[in-house]
């Protein structure tokens, strides 16, 4: 079993590699080779009996993807991409990396004609307001960002290339990943993780939106589970609609904070400071709230059942089980 991961240096990529290293197998076969790609060198795990190759560079550069798939991996995890804010700020870069890079990878696989399973991380950013109360699987994508447009176009390619038999693709639309480890970043969604992560580490966190804001979350642990399941699922069971909305936990910000108080106590919750930010709220208002994710659940994708579970996963995976 040879596996290629693009975007291997990112948060989800690193966690996926750790899980692959721990399991040692995928689709019932021993992992013998890992090809890890990113724009910066991904960290190579030291694994007995596994041939680990490190690749760097821009996927849209001429010839880059042909080189990358020359080893004919059995499974490709295509996680590479620039984030929403960057794609919005830099139009050319966003289309080059998120659309042209993806198409170049898909075309290299097509031309090499080895038809691997290809798992692509799409995003709920393919959806744009206004929404019904619960967004059904059949709801049309109407992204309100260039990032969402690039993901939507990549999804369309994935479905067509799969229909043509060039590869066996599964696109998974990730909800907001929470609790993201690490530091706050400039993403408008950063506070969803920040209001849990910072108080649990003894630091203050800013809440820029009202507590009534409803949003759907899944833990980094669930994101990795989604990827594993997407790599192993029976392609025939998926059928021609290859892009699946992943399940998640739909909660208000107020419910996030209540869960934090149940788990960590009132003193920890006091570290959240409400400081309304109209700019952030304006962006968040256009985001989807609650998904049906019926097909994803029926196909065996599972997330946490409560926000309490999401917080506990963070404490176990990132804080060694301890709260400051």
DSSP secondary structure letter of residue 292: -
**170 beta partners:** 119
CB of 145 to a copy of itself, least distance (A): 8
Backbone angles phi, psi at 121, to 5 degrees: -90, 105
Residues 91-120 vs a copy of itself: string with x where CB under 8 A? x-----------------------------
Catalytic residue among 147, 226, 287, 301: 147
Task: Tell whether residue 138 is a contact of a copy of itself (CB under 8 A).
Answer: yes
**Order of strands across the sheet with 249-252?**
176-177, 214-218, 249-252
Element (H, E) at 297: helix 294-298
Q: Is 95 a catalytic residue?
A: no
Question: CB of 275 within 8 A of CB of 231?
Answer: no
216 closest CA partner among 182, 181, 253, 242: 253
Task: Tell whether residue 169 is a contact of a copy of itself (CB under 8 A).
Answer: no
Interface stretch with a copy of itself, choices 44-52, 151-159, 217-225, 309-317 (CB under 8 A): 151-159
For residue 102, count CB atoms less than 10 angstroms from its CB and return exposed for 0-12, middle for 13-18, buried for 19 or more. buried
Interface stretch with a copy of itself, choices 15-23, 137-145, 230-238, 297-305 (CB under 8 A): 137-145
Interface stretch with a copy of itself, choices 8-16, 71-79, 134-142, 253-261 (CB under 8 A): 134-142
Question: CB of 83 within 8 A of CB of 42?
Answer: no
Residues 214-243 vs a copy of itself: string with x where CB under 8 A? --------------------------xx--
Question: CB of 17 within 8 A of CB of 35?
Answer: no
Task: Tell whether residue 153 is a contact of a copy of itself (CB under 8 A).
Answer: yes
CB of 231 to a copy of itself, least distance (A): 23
From 10, 42, 141, 175, residue interacting with a copy of itself (rule: CB under 8 A): 141
Task: Tell whether residue 164 is a contact of a copy of itself (CB under 8 A).
Answer: yes
Catalytic residues: 147
């Amino acid at each position: 079993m040879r596996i290629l991961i693009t975007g291997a240096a990112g948060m989800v990529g690193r966690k996926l590699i750790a899980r692959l290293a721990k399991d040692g197998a995928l689709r019932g076969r021993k992992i013998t080779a890992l090809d890890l790609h990113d724009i910066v060198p991904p960290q190579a795990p030291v694994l007995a009996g596994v041939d680990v190759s490190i690749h760097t560079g821009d996927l849209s550069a001429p010839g880059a993807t042909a080189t990358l798939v020359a080893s004919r991996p059995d499974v490709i995890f295509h996680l590479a991409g620039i984030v929403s804010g960057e794609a919005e700020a830099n139009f050319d870069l966003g289309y080059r990396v998120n659309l042209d890079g993806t198409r170049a990878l898909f075309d290299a696989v097509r031309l090499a004609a080895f038809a691997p399973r290809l798992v692509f991380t799409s995003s709920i950013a393919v959806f744009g307001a206004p929404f019904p109360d619960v967004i059904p699987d059949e709801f049309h994508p109407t992204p309100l960002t260039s990032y969402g447009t690039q993901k939507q176009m990549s999804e369309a390619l994935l479905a067509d290339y799969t229909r043509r038999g060039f590869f066996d693709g599964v696109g998974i639309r990730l909800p907001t990943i929470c609790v993201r480890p690490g530091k706050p970043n400039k993403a408008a969604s950063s506070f969803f993780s920040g209001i849990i992560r910072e108080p649990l580490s003894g630091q203050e966190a800013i809440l820029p939106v009202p507590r009534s804001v409803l949003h759907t979350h899944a833990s980094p642990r669930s994101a990795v589970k989604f990827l594993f399941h997407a790599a192993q699922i029976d392609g025939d069971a998926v059928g021609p609609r290859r892009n699946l909305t992943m399940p998640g936990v739909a909660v208000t910000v107020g419910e996030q904070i209540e869960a934090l108080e149940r788990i960590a106590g009132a003193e920890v919750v006091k570290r959240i400071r409400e400081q309304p930010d109209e700019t952030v709220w304006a962006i968040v208002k256009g985001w989807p709230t609650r998904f049906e994710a019926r097909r994803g659940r029926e196909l065996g994708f599972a997330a946490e059942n409560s926000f309490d579970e999401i917080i506990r996963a963070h404490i176990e995976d990132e804080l060694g089980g301890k709260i400051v």
